[in-house]
């Protein structure tokens, strides 16, 4: 699953926002998200799996708890894809053409 597909889901975006505040065990995430979105524990658990498997979260085991923490590699990948486009609305950047060209080369 591509990083942008991972972020395409509102539940997953919400979980990332929660994890940006503090690490949380699965149960605490379920409490918030199942209330806000009306989905079940397995539903949330499946989203956590997607986040895990795509570099957006990692887990540490604490007894019966799984404590989730934000992992940035997925987000960084999004950010990198976005970088060459940022020139278009951030006038600070001087070398527009150069930057775009760099992004193109990298894609190969």
Q: Which residues bind its own copies (CB under 8 A)?
A: 2, 4-5, 7-8, 10, 13, 16-17, 20-21, 70, 72, 75-76, 78-79, 81-82, 84-86, 88-90, 92-93, 97, 99-101, 103-104, 107
**11-70: which residues touch DNA (CB under 7 A)?**
11, 25-28, 30, 37-43, 45-50, 59, 63-66
Choose among its own copies, DNA, none what residue 11 binds, the Cβ cut-off being 5 to 8 Å by kind.
Answer: DNA
Residue with tokens 């609305």: 89
Please state whether beta strands 24-25 and 57-62 pair in parallel, antiparallel, or not at all (unpaired): unpaired
Length of the chain: 108
CA distance 4 to 77: 9
């Amino acid at each position: 699953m591509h990083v942008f597909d991972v972020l395409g889901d509102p539940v997953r975006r919400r979980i990332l926002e929660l994890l940006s505040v503090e690490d949380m065990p699965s149960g605490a995430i379920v409490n918030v998200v199942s209330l806000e979105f009306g989905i079940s524990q397995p539903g949330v658990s499946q989203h956590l799996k997607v986040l895990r498997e795509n570099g957006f979260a990692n887990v540490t085991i604490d007894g019966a708890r799984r404590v989730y923490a934000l992992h940035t590699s997925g987000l960084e990948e999004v950010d990198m894809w976005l970088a060459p486009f940022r020139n278009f609305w951030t006038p600070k950047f001087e070398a527009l053409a150069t930057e775009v060209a760099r992004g193109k080369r990298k894609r190969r």
